[in-house]
Amino acid sequence: MSNPELSIVIPVYNEEESLPHLLGELVPALEATGRTFEIICVDDGSQDNSFAELKKLRQQEPRVRVVRFRRNFGQTAAFAAGFDRAQGEIVITMDADLQNDPRDIPKLLDKMAEGYDVVSGWRVDRWKEGLRPLLTRKLPSMTANWLISTGTGVYLHDYGCSLKAYRREVVKNIRLYGDLHRFVPAIASYYGVTVAEVPVNYRSRQFGTSKYGLGRVVRVILDLLTVRFLLSYSTRPIQIFGLLGLLTFGLGFVIGLYLTFIKLVYGAALAERPMLLLSILLIMLGVQLITMGLLGELVVRTYHESQNKPIYAVREELG
């Protein structure tokens, strides 16, 4: 059997009530596109009857594939498992909570037909639910989107929207871990992909409770540091650690010269001067940072050479 044209990847965590409604909307929406498809549902260690519901849906619809984790590994791991198993030329991700509208999938496909490699949904009418969501969800979401866009240089209005479409080669070249699923468009930009955004519908959650809150901003900031480093210095760590090392070493050296000067010229006592300890500390820290950069270069070289990892990405070849 030939590979499907579309692969739909859906992380599932405690969504037993939503699943029948989701598949009831998703399958007709995909059939309306006229393309062959598969639906990969990844049960991320659900504690309710989600897996039993998925088994039932699998019996009713053979194009549904089910992956069950042994425990809850998180949404990033669920997406990674789906990406590893996806066979379609275009991989579409979405949530299982019915907040993403399956009827928006043709919008993503039409935009991708214009030549884009990644198309992300933008929930334009998301914030119309009163004051409480404004404080607990809108403010953290807006802050997170601004931080990610500014930190990565890939400007999207809604990084948190799970409804996205990727060309297969994009997701196959990305290794996800931690909570990096929301950064996939930014990480993919490292390979020179083209990214677009289209407005999509937003629907309020009908079952269960939201799994996001104010703590999301803190996690985004920490993950953003990782992504920023990966995008800018993953193949040349000496440039960041070496620069910091030279700055701290140089500052410590200048302070040391100043203390030496006042000692030799004015006979000043240095034993009780905090600046002497500061100078020694900065010089030692500078040496350590430079050493870390050199060790990082060795790790990067080992990573690429031992696994034959390319340091480039080819879009196409002629001849």
Question: 46 versus 129: which is more confidently predicted?
Answer: 46
> Residue range 28-35: average pLDDT?
93
Looking only at the bridges linking them, the beta strands covering 37-43 and 118-123 are unpaired
Closest CA to 84 of 190, 177, 163: 177
Does the structure show a pLDDT above 50 at 50?
yes
> Residue range 174-193: average pLDDT?
78
pTM of the model: 0.74
Question: 313 versus 287: which is more confidently predicted?
Answer: 287
- What's residue 143's pLDDT? 75
Take residue 91 and report the two structure tokens written for it: 């991989």
**pLDDT per residue as tens digits for the range 232-286:** 666 678 888 888 999 999 999 999 999 998 888 888 888 778 888 999 999 999 9
> Residue range 184-189: average pLDDT?
82
Q: Is 153 helix (H, G, I), strand (E, B) or coil?
A: coil
**Residue burial 237-250, b: 16+ Cβ < 10 Å; e: rest:** bbebbbebbeebbe
Does the structure show a pLDDT above 80 at 14?
yes
Does the structure show a pLDDT above 50 at 175?
yes
* Distances, alpha carbon 117 to alpha carbons 40, 155, 184, 188, 280, in Å: 21, 15, 12, 9, 51
Take residue 44 and report the two structure tokens written for it: 């991320």
> Residue range 42-57: average pLDDT?
91
Q: Say which amino acid occupies 312.
A: Y
- What's residue 291's pLDDT? 92
> Residue range 210-236: average pLDDT?
68
Q: Say which amino acid occupies 214.
A: L
**pLDDT per residue as tens digits for the range 127-157:** 555 545 555 566 777 777 787 787 777 888 8
- What's residue 209's pLDDT? 62
Does the structure show a pLDDT above 80 at 42?
yes
> Residue range 209-228: average pLDDT?
66
- What's residue 131's pLDDT? 47
Mean of the per-residue pLDDT values of the chain:
83
Q: Beta partners for 167?
A: 90
**Residue burial 12-47, b: 16+ Cβ < 10 Å; e: rest:** bbbbbbbbeebbeebbebbeeeebebbbbbbbbbbe
Does the structure show a pLDDT above 90 at 228?
no
What are the helix (H) ranges across 14-121? Answer: 18-31, 50-60, 75-85, 105-112
Q: Beta partners for 92?
A: 8, 165
Of 181-185, 207-211, 263-267, 302-306, where does the model show the most confidence?
A: 263-267
> Residue range 206-210: average pLDDT?
64
Q: Residue holding tokens 């009857």?
A: 49
Lowest mean pLDDT among 26-35, 89-98, 183-192, 242-251: 183-192
> Residue range 107-134: average pLDDT?
79
